[in-house]
Amino acid sequence: MKNKKRNRDGFFKDTLFEFIFEVVWNILMFIPRMIIRLIGNIW
């Protein structure tokens, strides 16, 4: 029983970590594009 619960917790932690990583990665990829467009619009 304990082993099953631990595996489930590990799965949720992995899923949560992947989700957070994906969100952070998308933000990091989005910001430089936004800055480049902003600079392009200003000049």
Q: What is the pLDDT of residue 9?
A: 75
pTM (predicted TM-score): 0.54
Q: What is the CA radius of gyration of the chain?
A: 19
Residue matched to tokens 């992995």: 14
pLDDT tens digits for the chain (43 residues)?
555 666 677 788 889 999 999 999 999 999 888 899 989 988 8
Q: What is the pLDDT of residue 27?
A: 92
Q: How far apart are CA 32 and CA 26, in angstroms?
A: 11
Q: What is the pLDDT of residue 3?
A: 58
Q: What is the pLDDT of residue 32?
A: 87
